[in-house]
Structure 1
Amino acid sequence: MNGKNVLRLAALAVIAAVGSATAAHAQNYGTYGSAFDWSGFYAGVYGGLAPSEIGSPFSDVTLQGGAVAGYNLQIGPGVIGAELEGGYLHGRSYQTSAGGELTQDWSAAAKLKAGLALDRTMLYATAGYGVARLDPQGNVSSKAAWQGGWIFGGGVEQSITSNLSAKLEYTQMRLDNVPTTIAGTNYSDDLVNHSIKAGLNFRF
């Protein structure tokens, strides 16, 4: 399955989640509604792992950390929202054509969210667009540059108090047609960034 098909499936999943939640609200809010309200602004921090591949065990794991800020709106049991994220990875490595290597330290993303609130637990899907700073290593002669790509994933968030919640999230960012130059020859590679994050959000 190519990247475009994956993105289409992710978008359909988000639409289905919103549609299902809205329908449940319209038909029977008393049965399906959430006593806890996820609406409002929030900010938080996260830490986690950025493996080069998802498997058992993980391959070439890099530590990461960052901060987020966003807004949620709850409509019945459905939750929709938007989030901005900035993160640091300690030299996440990508192997490219002709034995080249690029490393990533910084990233940023803007994401949309659609989820289902089960009182103090929220399950959600997320999709958006991100950028990553890629630096040349070894025999790569092209310059460092920011590269963009689509992000999709999902997670679960659990309210601890009325203002504090904890989350666990997986996202994948696909950086397509990333250019490199090695020994005077130009190459192009499709790169994938996996991210597994645990975080705390403060609602206000």
Structure 2
Amino acid sequence: MHKIIALASAFLLTSTAMTMAADLIEQSAVPPVEFETPAFTWTGAYVGISGGAGWLDGSTTKARRFHDEQDFDGSVFGAFAGYNWQFGNGIVVGVEGDIEYNSNDEKFFGYRTFGTDWAGSARGRIGYAFDRLMVFGTAGWTMANGHIQYGGIDKSETFSGWTAGAGVDYAVTDKIFVRGEYRYSDFGTKEIVRGMNVDFDQSVVKLGLAVKF
């Protein structure tokens, strides 16, 4: 009889201890922590480099009677910098400036060589972000240095006008993005030498690589 009572008591104590241990384990178990990956944003400053091809159409009028038109093909290479603000609805607005080597040379009237050395712009941008892909339009002010050479004379003038275009930015990582862009620029008209007015505009296709801060 005493053995039966002892066995029953031991069983009861063991069951109670196991129940208490299970309760302690359940209470001490820490639920797993879930980390949310922050959504990508285009907001911030950036700097980059770009290069591509340019197609310039130029015309000149001499002494208000003689007229000549030429097509210029060349290359562009330079740097750009800007800042974007992204809103909750996916709209992105920003400002951007660039400066680039812009090489185009051709002859007017068979002996006067006209070309460009550099070009730059200051523009506004507006786009729409599909997460890491952003399509954008851009427009603003532009300028370029045009030069003319003939008979030992080498003279240059700074032309200014307007520019507009569109492109795509794609963020490869949170800090690096690539770009494809087309832009049209009308640099206006100037009397680069006495009695000779030069007018030119240019289409440019560029690829770029930038770092976002």
Residue segments in structure 1 that go unaligned for 5+ positions in a row: 1-34, 54-58
**Structure 1 equivalent of residue 92 of structure 2:** 79
The equivalences for 1:20-59 within 5 A come to 35-52=39-56
Structure 2 portions without partners, runs of 5+: 1-38, 58-70
1:168 and 2:168 equivalent? no
| Distance across 2 between alignment mates of 1:193 and 1:74 | 31
2:72–2:106 CA contact under 8 A, matched in 1: no
Task: Decide whether aligned partners of structure 1 residues 126 and 140 sit closer, same or farther in structure 2, where only a CA change above 3 A counts.
Answer: farther
Q: Aligned AA for 1:68? A: F
CA drift of 1:138 comes to 2.8
Whether the 8 Å contact between 2:111 and 2:150 is mirrored in structure 1 is no
Structure 1 residue 149: Cα displacement: 1.0
Higher relative strand content = 2
- Taking the aligned partners of 2:143 and 2:107, their CA distance within structure 1 comes to 18
Rounded to whole Å, the distance in 1 between the matches of 2:190 and 2:114 is 10
TM-score normalised by length of structure 2? 0.68
**Count of paired positions:** 161
Q: Which has the larger radius of gyration?
A: 2
Aligned 1:40-189 pairs, distance under 5 A: 40-52=44-56, 60-75=72-87, 76-89=89-102, 91-93=103-105, 100-138=112-150, 143-181=155-193, 186-189=195-198
Two-structure CA RMSD over aligned residues (Å): 2.2
Q: Where has structure 1 moved over 4 Å in runs of 4 or more?
A: 94-100, 139-142
Give 1:141 shift. 5.5
Residue pair 2:94, 2:125 contacting (<8 A) in 1 also: yes
SS in structure 2 at match of 1:52: strand
Instruction: Describe the shift of the 1:140–1:146 C-alpha distance in structure 2 as closer, same or farther (beyond 3 A).
Output: farther
* Contact 2:169 2:179 survives alignment (8 Å): yes
Aligned AA (2:199): D
